[in-house]
Amino acid sequence: MTKKVRLGIIGLGAQGSMYAKFIKDGMVPSMEIGAICDIDTSKEAIANTDYPGVPFYEDYIEMMESGKVDAIITTVPHYLHPEMGIEALKRDIHALVEKPAGVYTKQVKELNEYAASKPELTFGIMFNQRNNPLYKKIKEIVDNGEIGKIRRTNWIITNWWRPQPYYDQSEWRATWGGEGGGVLVNQAPHQLDLWQWICGVPESVYSKVAYGFRRDIVVEDEVTAVVDYGDGATGTFVTATHDIIGTDRFEILGDQGKIVVDGSKTATVSRLKKPERELSDSMDMEDVKKLFMGQMNVEELYSQEVIEFDSPWGEQHSGVLENFAANILDGTPLLAPGSDGIKGVRLANAIHLSSWTGQEVSLENLDEELYLEELNKRIREEGRFSERKSSVRNSVD
C-alpha cells in the first residue's frame, strides 16, 4: 500500500465531483484520485479537463480490475450501493458507500455479511454528519449520562423544500423503482442515522405517511413517525419536502436534563441538579405557588449551557474521506462503519411498512420479505422499472 489511498470515484455527478475536488484541493491529505468511472461518456471530457492524467472508465468492474484503485466510493443511485460494495470487497478493494446504504434491508444485510467475511478490508459509509462537531458533542453528553436516561425524543426536520422541477429533472427521481422512495431515502438518511446513533435504536415504530401529498410524485413527501424505545420512552420524527419555511429542531429529554438543537447549529443543554422525579417529590405547595406565579428560581433546579461550533463547508465530508483513508493505512477507528448503514435503512423500511399496513412495526423483527413484496408491488404499478430481487450477489462466491 502506498502512503496515499488511490480512490476510485464511481459516478461523476454532484457528489462525486465534490469529493474529487476535495481530494484535488488537498483537503484529504491521505488520498489521491486513482480513477473515475461514469456510464455517461460525456463525463470523460470533464474528467480529462479537471483531473488530467486520471484514468476514466465507463464500466466500474473494469475500473476495479485495472489495478489503479485501492478503494472506491459509490456516488450512484441508492439501489446500486450494496452491489458495488460487494463487487469491490470481492476484489480486495476497500469500499465506502454513500448514504443510504441501500433501499431495503435484505440487500444491505447481504452487503454487511459479505463485508464481515473480509475483516481485513475497510468498509465505511458516508455519514458525514457524524463528523459534525456539534452532534459529536451531543452524543458524548448523552453517552456520559449527563442528562440521565432518555425519556422522549423529537426531531422535526422540514427545511429541505423541493419544488416540482426538482422531481421532474430525471425519470428515476422520486420513483419506487428508480430511487426507492422519497424524503426518507433521499433527504433524511443523515437524520435517521443521527437519531439512532445518539438516542439508540427504537423497538418499534408507527407512522402516518403521505405519498404525493403536495407534489406530483408517487413516493413520500410528508412523514410523521412515532417510535417506542421501551420502558415508556417514546420519540417522534417529522419530515417533509413541501415546507417552504422549514424547521430543524431536535430535542432529547432525559430524566436529569434536556438538549435542544436548533438548525443543526446550536444546542442548549440543560442539566438538572437532581433527577426530575426527586425534584418533583421534594416540592411543597409553597413551591408550587411560586412555580405558577413565575417566582421560582430555576437556577436552583438546573443549569444551562449553549454549545456552538464552526463547521466550514466541506470539512465534514472531507473528514470522513480522510478518516476512511486513515483506517486503511493505520487502523484508525472509523467514524462511520459501513455496517451501521442498515440501521437507517431498517427504520425507513419500517416507517414505510407501518404506513402501508396501518400497523405498528417491530424494528428487531422487521418482516423483510413483506417489505420487499410491498415495494415490488409499487414498482409494478409504476410500470417503468424491473422488480427488485432478494439477492444482489450475482457473481460473488
Q: Is 263 left (phi over 0), alpha (psi -120 to 50) or beta?
A: left
CB 340 within 8 A of CB 127: yes
Q: State how far the Cα of 32 lies from the Cα of 54, in Å rounded to an integer.
A: 10
Q: State how far the Cα of 271 lies from the Cα of 254, in Å rounded to an integer.
A: 9
pLDDT in tens, 295-335: 999 999 999 999 999 878 789 999 999 999 999 999 999 99
Question: Can you tell me which residue has the cell 406530483?
Answer: 216
- Averaged pLDDT, 87-108: 98
β-pair partners for 259: 252, 269
Predicted confidence (pLDDT) at residue 215 exceeds the cutoff of 90: yes
Superfamily of domain 5-129+314-341: NAD(P)-binding Rossmann-like Domain (3.40.50.720)
pLDDT of residue 394: 52
Residue 59, Cβ density class (10 Å: 0-12 exposed, 13-18 middle, ≥19 buried): exposed
pLDDT of residue 1: 46
Write the CB contacts of 116 (distance below 8 Å, at least 6 apart in sequence): 339
pLDDT of residue 312: 80
**DSSP character at residue 387:** P
pLDDT, averaged across the chain: 96
pLDDT in tens, 118-133: 999 999 999 999 999 9
pLDDT of residue 313: 79
pLDDT of residue 219: 98
What global pTM score does this model have?
0.95
Write the CB contacts of 292 (distance below 8 Å, at least 6 apart in sequence): none
The CATH code of domain 130-308 reads 3.30.360.10
pLDDT of residue 101: 97
Q: State how far the Cα of 231 lies from the Cα of 228, in Å rounded to an integer.
A: 9
Question: Can you tell me which residue has the cell 417491530?
Answer: 362
pLDDT of residue 397: 44
Q: What percent of the chain has pLDDT over 90?
A: 95
- Closest C-alpha to 348, from 83, 86, 102: 102
324 in helix, strand or coil?
A: helix
∠ CA 57-60-63, nearest 5°, is 60
pLDDT of residue 327: 98
pLDDT of residue 310: 86
pLDDT in tens, 177-204: 999 999 999 999 999 999 999 999 999 9
261 pLDDT tier (thresholds 50, 70, 90): very high
pLDDT of residue 2: 57
Predicted confidence (pLDDT) at residue 245 exceeds the cutoff of 80: yes
∠ CA 79-80-86, nearest 5°, is 125
pLDDT in tens, 338-361: 999 999 999 999 999 999 999 999
Segments making up each domain of the chain, as ranges? 5-129+314-341, 130-308
pLDDT in tens, 26-36: 999 999 999 99
393 pLDDT tier (thresholds 50, 70, 90): low
User: 83: number of CA atoms within 13 Å, CB side?
Assistant: 17
